[in-house]
Chains A and B, each alone.
Chain A
Amino acid sequence: MTGQTLPTHDVAVELLVEAGAVLASSLDLATTMSQVARLTVPRLADLCVIDLRDDDGSIREVAVASYDPEIAAPLEAMRRQHPLDPAGGHPVARVIRTGEPELLAEMTSALMRSFAQGSRHAKFMIDHRYHSAVVAPLLSRGRTLGTLSVLRLGDGQPYELADLELACELARRAATAIDNARLFSELRRVEQRLEAVLVNVAEAITLTDDRGQMVFANQAAADLLGASTPAELMSSSPGTIMPRFLVLDEQGRELGLESMPGRRLFAGESPGPLLVRNIVRATGEERWLIVRSSPVTDPESGRILYAVNVFENITEVKRAQLAERFMAEASRVLASSMDYAETLQHLTRLAVPQIADWCAVDVLSESGEIERVAVHHSDPRRIELAERLDRGYRLGLDEPVGVPEVIRSGRARIYTNIEPDALAAYARDDGHLALLQAIGATAVIIVPLAAPARTLGAITLASAESMRRLTHADLALAERLGRRAGTAVESARLYTERTRIASMLEAALLPESLPEIPGAKLASLYRAAGELNDVGGDFYDVLAYGADRWLLVIGDVCGKGPRAAAVTALARHTLRTAAMLDLTPTQMLDTLHAALRHQPSGPDMCTVCLVTFERRSAGARLGVTLAGHPPPLIIDVDGGRTQVGTPGTLLGVLDPIEISEVDVELGADQTLLLYTDGLPEANRTGMQLGEQTLFEPGVQAPAPTLAGLLSQIEQAALRRASGRLRDDIALLALRLT
């Protein structure tokens, strides 16, 4: 027998060293078990048997090694066919129960029969001359996994205590290896189940270790991170994947690897979900991702082993949300300013960098020229490039491509990838090409600035250094922007035109200049409420009235717009004609009343104040006649005010009218003020002119000049109305000289 060698110290050391090397080499249970069994034969044993206890307590798994295959194979088969009784008297079962090793120095036939699993087993042991045995427990993590049995056959030297110790030492090492192999196979099973789940989920999932090495990735992750297979991802070195992308937060700030939730986990933080805008550097493709990471910790040490990273692609949702937000902001900007060029400038600032690196707006002037009204880039030095381009190479409406073509056709264009050749073909000369190259547009969208009936110009959006790809979704958004902005610009133009017509009409209703009255100074002021868009009904006039008399007229026609303008003209001219006919003020107003009453389009309503003026040696004589109009004021040097006149019926709607003329003296230091209802109505409290409400504290009348006084009154009225007058204000003032 070869197995009779004494377990000398050298043999023991050699065996244990070899065990260390062999046992570390595999994590497969069957391989590990047979390696352990083979280690012992022939140095320590003629036959080695490893029995393992299952979770349910049965003893099923077995590995046998022997110098003689005629022994090993049948024994292994017999063990599998007739498993040992865990509660029985077999030494293996006993050791598994107690965890204590057993030395069976001399195995007699009687002894073997006492624990055999049936007569075949006993016969096998006796036939193969079982002689001496050590059964050592396989102990790991406080549990007995099974036993390592070494046996000597035939006439060899029985095992001694030293052999028992060596077998136990070997069993301890083997137990650790077997335990690991078992855990590993368990882990593999779990992993396989997990993987089966993960490969099928839509979200990209990766598992990274503390060095950032990817140890797992599903196909969705490979697709998202630009690899053809998960294996390709997992073989990439840590930190080589992130640089393929430009990763930005919602505010457009670039994020580094250390900001990623997976990395922050390993830094001891508890990161929440992170929303990132991710741009593929190679293609310019933009995605919006939510990145969530959760730790996989070692249950014993609590150390984080892995980070599970889940990437949810929310690009579509985010795009739609951003588009809506952008349009809402654009609508707000477009409605915010009086000046449409300024508005369009704001609009370009809104578009950059949200949807493009460049944004420019060109409009078609009335003379058919293309004018650049706004351009923006986040870097002012680069705006200078665009301005040089605009100055040096102004676009002509007949050019075949680009902005002119979009303005002519009214159709949006998208150029997703601008090739250098195309740029060279487009450039007029080398200087042009150099500027275009410096601007560096890689993709361009041009949409019409579309008003309901015509194209007013074009909005150009370009992607350059960000490499952002412009998509058809961007085109759709830009077209909406073009329509919204076009409508706003058109409204502004129409509005301005109406305003211009209105103010022309307005001017026609007021005297171009006031006449010179000997011994008196005159001043007037007209302030339209709102935006001059509707013609107001206020009017005033100063007319020669006989030889040395003058007539001051102020009036207010009810309503606004063309009809009020027509009635105002009627009132003014009726009074002029009446004055030439030398009618008295009361007769004049009766005439006007009748004219208003018998308007072909129905009666119109009007209030009038007439003041006749006659210079006397020391002062003047005034005749005041009121028809529904607020009474004029006489203002003293010290600011005291007196209302003059008797209220009379307004004209045009009520019969009969009651009006009367009142004589008043005007002193040398006094000022006569005629005004329309816009002034008292400037605030809503119903204050009376003539009381202190006309002038605010600090505005003391009379001002040094008449014009100064009127301006002070206007300013005070504006302040009371918080800048927004309800009605037009007309003021007419007279002071003696």
Chain B
Amino acid sequence: MTSRCSHFALPEQFSDKITAMGVQDQLQIAVRREADRVILALDGELDMASAGLLEHAMEGVDGETTVVLDLDQLQFIDSTGLRSVLSALEHCKERGQEFAVTRGSQQVQRLLGVTGVAKHLRIIDAADEVLA
């Protein structure tokens, strides 16, 4: 009885989609402004599900001369997440803003290194570090 139509599979990941809707649980971005600097502190995981949050946050960044992504609390990043960081870099270049990131977790550092992206980023030790 059960085998006849077993090639129809029920979408198991429907439940995951629901979880993905709660992206905020996965990534939180705190925006802090200090003088002419805006610091976006990323906490959690930046991946396919949450990359949109960073892009959205960057839309609100305009007037400041310096933009810092504080990656100290970023646990994980994948290629889509990396791409959103590169979009942020692009965004700043177009507006003539300084762009810097902090180091992030081991996994974040590894991906930035392996992809050669690290060489294109200004990596600083602390989000409030004075840029020369």
Contact = CB atoms under 8 A, between A and B. Distances in A.
Interface of A: 334-343, 345, 363, 371-375, 488-489, 491-493, 495-496, 499, 530-531, 533, 556, 558-560, 605, 607, 626-631, 647-650, 653-654, 657-659, 677, 680-681, 684-688, 726-727
- B1, B2, B14, B45, most chain A CB atoms within 10 A: B1
B33 interface: no
A654 B108 contact: no
Nearest to A534: B48
Given A373-B5, A647-B115, 17 more contacts: A338-B12, A339-B9, A341-B1, A341-B5, A343-B10, A373-B1, A374-B2, A491-B10, A492-B11, A496-B8, A533-B13, A558-B79, A559-B80, A605-B83, A628-B116, A647-B116, A648-B116
Given A530-B13, A531-B11, A628-B117, A605 B47 contact: no
Contacts of B9: 338-340, 492, 495-496, 499, 531
25 contacts: A335-B10, A337-B10, A339-B2, A339-B5, A340-B10, A341-B5, A341-B6, A343-B10, A345-B2, A373-B4, A373-B5, A374-B2, A375-B1, A531-B12, A533-B13, A559-B83, A605-B79, A607-B79, A628-B114, A628-B117, A653-B86, A657-B116, A677-B111, A684-B76, A726-B47
Contacts of B116: 627-628, 647-650, 654, 657-659
Contacts of A533: 11, 13
A388 to B, nearest CB: 14
B1 to A, nearest CB: 6
Interface string B103-120: 001111111011111011
B78 A726 contact: yes
B4 A686 contact: no
A658 B120 CA distance: 10
Nearest to A371: B4
Contacts of A630: 114
A463 to B, nearest CB: 22
Contacts of B82: 558, 605
B94 to A, nearest CB: 14
A341 B10 CA distance: 10
Nearest to A557: B79
A342 B8 CA distance: 10
A334 B11 CA distance: 10
Interface string B1-37: 1111111111111111000000000000000000000
B75 interface: yes
- B45, B105, B120, most chain A CB atoms within 10 A: B120
A375 to B, nearest CB: 7
Contacts of A558: 79-80, 82-83
B106 A495 contact: no
A650 B3 contact: no
- A626, A657, A681, most chain B CB atoms within 10 A: A681
B86 A654 contact: yes
Interface string B92-131: 0000000000000111111101111101100000000000
A558 B117 CA distance: 14
A596 to B, nearest CB: 12
Interface residues of B, number: 41
A337 B8 CA distance: 11
| CB-based closest 10 A-B pairs | A686-B107, A649-B116, A628-B115, A686-B106, A558-B79, A650-B115, A341-B5, A495-B11, A338-B9, A492-B10
Contacts of B16: 530
A383 to B, nearest CB: 9
A463 B119 CA distance: 74
B7 to A, nearest CB: 6
Contacts of A657: 116
A647 B109 CA distance: 13
Nearest to B16: A530
Contacts of B105: 686
A726 B80 CA distance: 12
B91 to A, nearest CB: 13
A543 to B, nearest CB: 24
A326 B120 CA distance: 59
Contacts of B113: 647
- B11, B80, B113, B119, most chain A CB atoms within 10 A: B11
Given A556-B79, A559-B80, A628-B116, A491 B1 contact: no
A530 B20 CA distance: 14
Contacts of B47: 726
Nearest to B120: A654
Contact of A649 (B2, B13, B48, B120): B120
A684 B45 contact: yes
A727 B6 contact: no
B75 A684 contact: yes
A619 B120 CA distance: 38
Contacts of B110: 680, 686, 688
Nearest to B118: A647
A685 B106 contact: yes
Given A341-B6, A685-B106, A649 B12 contact: no
Nearest to A375: B1
A726 B47 CA distance: 10
Contacts of B45: 684
A559 to B, nearest CB: 6
A706 B45 CA distance: 35
Nearest to A646: B116
B55 to A, nearest CB: 14
A175 B117 CA distance: 114
Nearest to B109: A686
A141 to B, nearest CB: 77
A98 to B, nearest CB: 92
A476 B117 CA distance: 60
Nearest to A629: B114
Contacts of A495: 9-11
Nearest to B9: A338
A391 B78 CA distance: 54
B114 A631 contact: yes
Nearest to A498: B11
Nearest to A495: B11
B8 A341 contact: yes
Nearest to B5: A341
B51 to A, nearest CB: 10
Contacts of A629: 114-115
B86 to A, nearest CB: 5
A650 B120 CA distance: 11
A692 to B, nearest CB: 15
A242 to B, nearest CB: 40
A83 B12 CA distance: 96
